[in-house]
Chains A and B, each alone.
Chain A
Amino acid sequence: MSNTVTRIRVAGAVVAAAAGIVGLAACSSPAPSGNASAASPCEPAKGKVTLQYWNTVPGMDQVVALWNKNNPNIQVEIKNISNDQYGTIGNALKAGKAPELAQVGYDELPNLRSQDAFVDASACADATAAQSKFVPWTWSQTSFGGTGVFAFPQDTGPMALYVRSDLFKKYNLEIPKTWDEYATDAQKLHDADPNLSITFFDPNNAEWFNGLLWQNNAEMYSYAGDKWHVTVESDQSKQVAEFWQKLIDAKLVRTDLAHGSTPMYAAYQKNQIATYVGAAWGYSMFRDNLPDQSGKWTIVPMPTWGSNPASGDWGGSTVAFMKGNTHLYESVKFNSWLNTDPEALALENKLGGLYPAATAGASLPALAEGVPYYNNEKIFDVFAESSKNIDTSFAWGPTQKTVNLALQDAMAKAAAGNGKVADALAAAQASALKSMQDQAIPAVAGN
């Protein structure tokens, strides 16, 4: 053994030394490359083209199969990247192996753009013309305020409140219209049945919390004077944080359930939770996971802050033109079909629960009819109304992913009774400034 000990000890030094030598020989510092934002040419290719399209949408294989059948010369291959969506995209970018098209959430667009992840498709006439086909705030985010065409909007997540109407009826409660009423109902439900909570607060879901901030017009980032201005910690955001803090302190909301997890569905299944603060795409999750509760759910507008009818957006995605895409012409063709063609939109809505970002989506038969699971109520009218009440000037930061992680970690501490939700805003604010500094992006705190 003593021999082995010596050997391993020597080994450390040797590996370190060898590593150093090879490293210096193999690598050289890359210099800044050409102008990133120049539009790329838009020429149709000669012959057959195969496009890679990465996404996380359930059932997308069937949508793409439909396209492939009708377009033998523009074939699309898909890959599901639900696990670690942005890690996968980030690695591929770093290796210069990005797909032609990738699903990117609105909140990650600035982040990826700051890594020079996209190409500008505005040389394609069809791309610039697409503007009129989408809900304005979505186009504003994909075009970065009209400076190019980097992605097409795919779906949005206008928020609404899912309510177990049977439980509310049972305890003689009105469906809440404001957050104050919501908090009162939370207390009443809990008094009536100690095992019943009005909802759950998942600290590991920054995207959801950001949607709530958006609803309260808590602008987190703006760009002016060559700098980002970080206002994650603001009076509006603190108001939201303190509201949830009160519910957590009074143990009126569950904090032990992860959104979308089997335990979460089990809690709903066991009638332990009476509402769900959700987005449009969630309608199919409840329908598919809780078939026994068909007819018990209704969907109503979000509770509001005072009399302001504002709503927020949670999730939703775009399909972005990725760096290295040499088939922009074909990519634009497929991308517009994917996100504006009624047949494609209907299929995506049916299989993946997507709520289209295209304005034409609202008139899809599937979205105009009542949904059997929800007592044949026209739930999409609620989401359409919500969509109209979303603040269009809300913007995401260029290091959103890191900030989200910091927010989540600090919210988890608060949920565990170790700190406050408002502290999480401070942590997120600090993380935003620090991460931008690491990426050499100029930023200051406050307006």
Chain B
Amino acid sequence: MNNQTPLRENRVSRTAAMALMFLLAIYFLLPIYFLLVAATKPQGDLASTFGLAFSHFDLFKNLSTLFGRSDGIFARWALNSVIYAVLGAAVGTLISALCGYALAKFKFRGREFLFSVILGGVLVPTTALALPLFLLFSATGIVNTYLAVFLPSIVSPFGVYLARIFTAAAVPEEILESARLDGAGEFRTFFTVALRLMTPSLVTIFLFQFVGIWNNFFLPMVMLQKESLFPITLGLYEWNGQTARVSLLQESVITGALVSIVPVIIVFILLQRFWRTGLAAGSIK
């Protein structure tokens, strides 16, 4: 009798837990499913048919309309997003790693002060920075260029914070010491020894920054005037603003939204192994 109670408890909890998780999964996936369904519909069916059921399957037609609009501007936006997000996150991760590594492994006067200043940056609303930055960039003539979006994007104080924590957790002092004893310089030690140990953590930092840049629209909105420089988010936002007068854009906004989230989801799933280890390494500090 005595050991049946935990068993029954187990079965009840198991069922309850699965049920709860399924409900939550439906909550998280339903809007995405809705988007998927909507992207396959002709414009006219959007309002007139039930939103969660497929009607006429027009996905490929919608995609070709999307990519054919204004001489294929959408493909250009997609390419821009990739450039901003991949390059920005790559450079951003590298400089965050360098800085975080230095903060974790080198002892120097003012180190904690420096770290505090950088951490304070985490708390600054990036939306509040965009306008002053625009005015400052105007004075130097780099508004309305790739650089205007790219340069501010590479700075991620949170990345430095993570890099410092990750380095402390994943890079043992002894390994660095032995590399130094072998006569390797600091940079060589960093690039050949530390970077390899930090890889999972760096993937995590890269991902966070990649998503941050990919999803950002406020900064590009303030900085860019040429449509050919837009990232996807800004382009779609602009189209969405025109649907009041050009309602046929609605379907392209929806299809475009679906297209814009697919690459990010694929990147997530592909890099899953890395970012999970990476997060775990830093999370107990």
A contact set with B: CB distance below 8 Å: 1, 4, 7-8, 10-12, 14-15, 18, 54, 56, 58, 61, 79-80, 82-84, 88, 91-92, 94-97, 259-262, 265-266, 269, 285, 288-289, 352-353
Contacts of B46 in A (CB 8 A): 262
Nearest 7 CB-CB pairs, A to B?
Answer: A260-B244, A11-B120, A95-B138, A83-B241, A15-B120, A11-B116, A266-B47
Residues from chain A with Cβ under 8 Å of B113 in the complex: 10, 14
Q: Is the CB of B116 within 8 A of A95?
A: no
Is B117 in contact with chain A by the CB < 8 A criterion? yes
Are B117 and A12 in contact, with the CB atoms below 8 A?
no
Task: Give the distance in Å from the alpha carbon of A202 to the alpha carbon of B238 in the complex.
Answer: 22
> Which residue of B115, B135, B227 contacts A94 across the interface (Cβ within 8 Å)?
B135
**B126 contacts chain A at the CB level, 8 A cutoff:** no
Q: Determine whether the beta carbon of A97 is less than 8 Å from that of B138.
A: yes
State whether the Cβ of B260 lies closer than 8 Å to any Cβ in chain A: no
Given contacts A15-B121, A82-B241, A285-B245, contact A269 B112 (CB under 8 A): no
1/0 per residue B229-258: CB within 8 Å of A?
000000001101111111110100000000
Q: Which residue of chain B is the closest to A352 with respect to CB atoms? A: B245
A8's nearest neighbour on chain B, judged by CB, is B119
Q: Report the minimum CB–CB distance from B262 to chain A (whole Å).
A: 24
Interface flags for B93-119 (1: CB within 8 Å of A; 0: not) read 000000000000000000011011111
In the complex, which residues of chain A have a beta carbon less than 8 angstroms from the beta carbon of B115?
Answer: 7
Chain B positions near chain A (C-beta within 8 angstroms):
46-48, 70, 112-113, 115-124, 131, 134-135, 138-139, 143-144, 221-222, 225-227, 237-238, 240-248, 250, 285
Say what secondary structure dominates the interface of chain B: helix
Contact B238 A15 (CB under 8 A): no
- A15, A88, A265, A352: the one contacting B247 at CB < 8 Å is A265
Instruction: Report if A80-B112 is in contact (Cβ < 8 Å); known contacts: A18-B117, A97-B138, A269-B47.
Output: no
Q: Which of A7, A259, A288 contacts B112 (CB under 8 A)? A: A7
Residue of A nearest to B117 (CB): A14
Contacts of A58 in B (CB 8 A): 242, 245-246
Closest chain B residue to A292, Cβ basis: B44
Within the complex, the shortest CB–CB distance from B27 to chain A, in Å, comes to: 23
* Residues of A close to B250: CB separation below 8 A: 262
CA distance A289 to B243 in the complex (A): 10
In the complex, the answer to whether B120 meets A8 with C-beta atoms within 8 Å is yes
Distance of A1 Cα from B139 Cα, bound (Å): 41
- Determine the residue in chain B with the shortest Cβ distance to A285: B245
Residue from the list A7, A80, A95, A269 in contact with B143, Cβ < 8 A: A95
Cβ contact within 8 Å between B242 and A91? no
Please, which residues of chain A bring their CB within 8 A of the CB of B243?
260, 262
On whether the beta carbons of A15 and B124 are closer than 8 Å, the reply is yes
Whether A12 contacts B120 in the complex (CB less than 8 A), given A94-B135, A288-B247, comes out as: yes
In the complex, A104→B120 CA distance in Å? Answer: 41
For residue B216, give the distance in angstroms from its CB to the closest CB of chain A: 16
**With A79-B227, A266-B47, A285-B245 as contacts: A14 and B237 at CB distance below 8 Å:** no
Q: Which of B116, B122, B225, B238 contacts A14 (CB 8 A)?
A: B116
- Distance of A85 Cα from B135 Cα, bound (Å): 18
Report how far A91 CA is from B223 CA in the complex, Å: 10
